[in-house]
A and B are shown apart, each in its own frame.
Chain A
Amino acid sequence: MLAYIIRRLLLLPILLLGVTIFVFAVFALLSPEMRASLYLADVPKSPDAMDRIIKKYGLDQPIHIQYWQWLNQVIRGDLGWSKTAQRPVSEALLYYLPATLELSLWAMLPVILVGIWLGILSAVHQDKLIDHTMRVFALVGWSLPTFVFGLLMLMYFYARLQWFPPGQISDWVTREVINGSFIRYTQMYTIDAILNWRWDVFWDSLRHLIMPVITLSYVQWALLLRVTRSSMLETLRQEYIMTARAKGLKESVVINKHAARNAMIPVATMGGLLLIGLLNGVVITETIFNYPGIGRWAADAAIRLDILSVIGFTLFNGVLLVVGNLIVDVLYAFIDPRVRLE
């Protein structure tokens, strides 16, 4: 077990290095002039300003020297200036992260619990009405673009019924934050509301979160439901399930204790895929609901061709995914002893 974890940990720096090389390669697709213009705040006053910047940042150097310089900057946390956020990219990431984290935390819980539960339900009642409903539900979720689903939700629950507004929080809360009667400890409104013991703020924040959470979860539900269903179906055909039934165990015990636990092993590999879905989904969902997280920031930056922000965001995503996959793999080795014997 330990050897397996160490082997995986040794692979981490190599992968991270690969990620940085890759991101830099994408960055280097731009000509030196274009990259120099990213460092300029304004239109250059003097004609040779461009050349000076190219010289100063070494943009005319051979590519491997440039990469080395860039890597040094990145390690020091200097990712350049984000024109979209009007602050350095590394600060912008930290500034927008709590909102996205809050959204993701609220979204992940229903995804995992409801998705697995529905999948098991669907497999147990195979080819019954509930199974067909679930399969149609999953297929539609798999085929409906996130942005169409989000816009349809906005159309009904915001434009027509006025129940759930877009954005992150109502104006009156923002005013209270400014005049200091509501303190933001964690930058996450729902948690801050509990810490401040303000249930009206909690409710307001929840009202804003509900639609993005459902939009972000729907595709993931569909994915998880499908995998859980097929894994559960396979497990239910195993002979030890027959044995358990033959022993006269109650059906609920057979399903929950004997089948579901073993069916969860392949589902655990989905962790990485769910993370990818979350990172992808956050960009679209936050853009539609005008929710101020890193996803909306990145989408805004991409449209304005604010390349430094986009590059910083991608690097962040790459590192997050590499580390996330490592954690999933290690957890998987914990659950399924067969993996670490390989």
Chain B
Amino acid sequence: MSAVRAWLRHSLLWIYLVLGGLFVFVVLSTRQELGLFEEPLFLISQILVFGVVATIITAAYRMRKLLQNRLSLIGIVLVLFFAAIAIAAPWLAPPENPREPYRIVRCGYTHMPQPPRGDNPLEQIWKIITKQETICEARPFGLIQSYDIYYGIVWGTSMAFFVGLVLTGLNVLIGLVIGSLGAYFGRWVDEILMRITDIFLAFPFLVAAITLAAVLQPSLGRGLLTAMVALTVFGWMSYARLIRGDILAIKERDYVYAAHAIGAPHYRVLLRHIIPNAIYPTLVVGSMDIGSYVLNFAALSFLGLGAEIGFADWGQMISFARDWIPRLSDHWYIVVYPGMAILLFVLGWNLIGDAFRDILDPRLKGAK
């Protein structure tokens, strides 16, 4: 209990921010009778985004260096900007059917890309927010195969947070379990687990994910689940190796021997004494990889092995452009807008990750 209380005290600001944000959001959205909470994906994604915002604010509060470095400041601004889009998605782009917000709004049934309306996209977006025009009337970023690109980008932001954070979390978790078991028990357990890790590393990440996605499609169908499983199976190895190394160093410490000596069971030594002291480097590396998971998921979607057609996912939206390559200079908006969204989102995360590494890597101290 005391550990729980200590953790609560330690992260009070964080918890206040998440709960407060959620509370305000729920009040606002029930006023508007959006009925969005019937989509569990959206609820999870919303909680995750609030978690990200709270983490960034608390991290910036504790590590002032994050705000002093110009590049990391840009990164924080970018990620907070996308977080704002994800949180405000129901107002920025009201869904047709609140129960399926990730289904991109269709305007008509033409195959041809339709150019954006109006000269200034921001003006058109403002018309949507103030409810002067519906999404199909405003069309700030144009249409591709009758799907509204603006709607896809707004809800794709929410999806990108979901995909990036859930994939990172799952992979770190698997790596944590395998790496810590191997390092703690040592000998043949370690040998077997590490050789398995080696074999998983014997395949290029994307190629293996493509294969697994193709093999899983007959049983799981094309969609979010298949792609996420495929990217989870092949993503955890570097974390397993990292945490293994850290635990190998920590398990020889005196306090671990002391815990053994007073008769603490294995799980207690591992969970209470070793992992809390070894986990931070792995978490930092994981946070640096959020962007690359979003990229890889987008690549799977682009190849037609990720999210299904019409799902608000950036990679899937760009895959439409493959049919229009000879005429892309006329229909530039079908690549440029979703492409910019991916680039800026991933760039934001990478800038923050870079700053983290510079702050935490002792070898680089004094270099700056």
A interface residue numbers (CB < 8 A to B): 14-15, 18-19, 21-22, 26-27, 29-31, 34, 135, 139-140, 142-148, 151-152, 154-156, 158-160, 166, 230, 233-234, 237, 276, 279-280, 283-284, 287-288, 298-299, 301-303, 305, 307, 310-311, 313-314, 317-318, 321-322, 325
Contacts and interface: CB of A to CB of B under 8 A. Distances in A.
Nearest to A322: B202
Interface of B is mostly: helix
B223 to A, nearest CB: 14
Given A34-B218, A151-B339, A159-B326, A317 B350 contact: no
A251 to B, nearest CB: 20
B206 interface: yes
A143 B347 contact: yes
Q: How many interface residues does chain B have, given as a range?
A: 35 or more
A210 B287 CA distance: 35
Interface in B196-235: 198-200, 202-208, 210-219
A64 to B, nearest CB: 17
Contact of B339 (A152, A156, A233): A152
Given A152-B339, A307-B214, A139 B202 contact: no
B210 A299 contact: yes
Contacts of B304: 302-303
Contacts of B204: 276, 279-280, 317, 321
Contacts of B315: 145, 147
- A-B residue pairs, 4 tightest by C-beta: A18-B199, A148-B339, A155-B328, A280-B206
Interface stretch (B14-22, B36-44, B140-148, B317-325): B317-325
Nearest to B335: A151
A63 to B, nearest CB: 16
13 contacts: A15-B202, A26-B212, A145-B298, A145-B346, A159-B330, A237-B367, A283-B210, A283-B303, A301-B214, A302-B211, A302-B214, A313-B211, A317-B203
B150 interface: no
A29 B299 contact: no
Nearest to B327: A159
Interface of A is mostly: helix
Nearest to A290: B325
A202 to B, nearest CB: 25
Contact of B214 (A151, A310, A321): A310
B299 A155 contact: no
Contacts of B327: 159
B216 A159 contact: no
A148 B298 CA distance: 10
Interface in B146-186: none
Contacts of A30: 215, 218-219
Given A155-B328, A314-B207, A314-B211, 20 more contacts: A14-B195, A18-B198, A19-B199, A22-B202, A22-B203, A27-B215, A30-B218, A143-B350, A146-B299, A147-B318, A155-B332, A280-B204, A284-B302, A302-B305, A305-B214, A307-B214, A310-B214, A311-B211, A318-B202, A322-B202
B87 interface: no
* Highest count of chain A CB atoms <10 Å: which of B199, B216, B322, B338: B199
* Highest count of chain B CB atoms <10 Å: which of A147, A233, A288: A147
Interface in B267-323: 291, 295, 298-299, 302-305, 315, 318, 321-322
Given A145-B298, A145-B342, A151 B211 contact: no
A29 B318 contact: no
Nearest to B199: A18
Contacts of B206: 280, 283-284
B8 interface: no
A322 B204 CA distance: 10
Contacts of B26: none
Nearest to A226: B354
Given A143-B291, A147-B302, A148-B318, A29 B216 contact: yes
A287 B319 CA distance: 11
Given A159-B328, A279-B204, A302-B210, A284 B299 contact: yes
A140 B347 contact: yes
Nearest to B291: A143
A158 B199 CA distance: 41
A284 B303 contact: yes
Contacts of B212: 26
A29 B215 contact: yes
Contacts of B218: 30, 34, 305
B264 interface: no
B240 interface: no
Given A279-B207, A310-B214, A318-B203, A302 B339 contact: no
Nearest to B207: A317
A151 to B, nearest CB: 5
A139 B207 contact: no
A310 B343 contact: no
Given A139-B351, A151-B318, A284-B302, A321 B326 contact: no
B329 interface: yes
B74 to A, nearest CB: 10
Given A148-B343, A303-B304, A307-B214, A142 B202 contact: no
Contacts of A31: 219
* Highest count of chain B CB atoms <10 Å: which of A18, A135, A145, A230: A145
Contacts of A317: 203-204, 207
B363 interface: yes
B48 to A, nearest CB: 20
Nearest to A16: B202
A146 B342 CA distance: 11
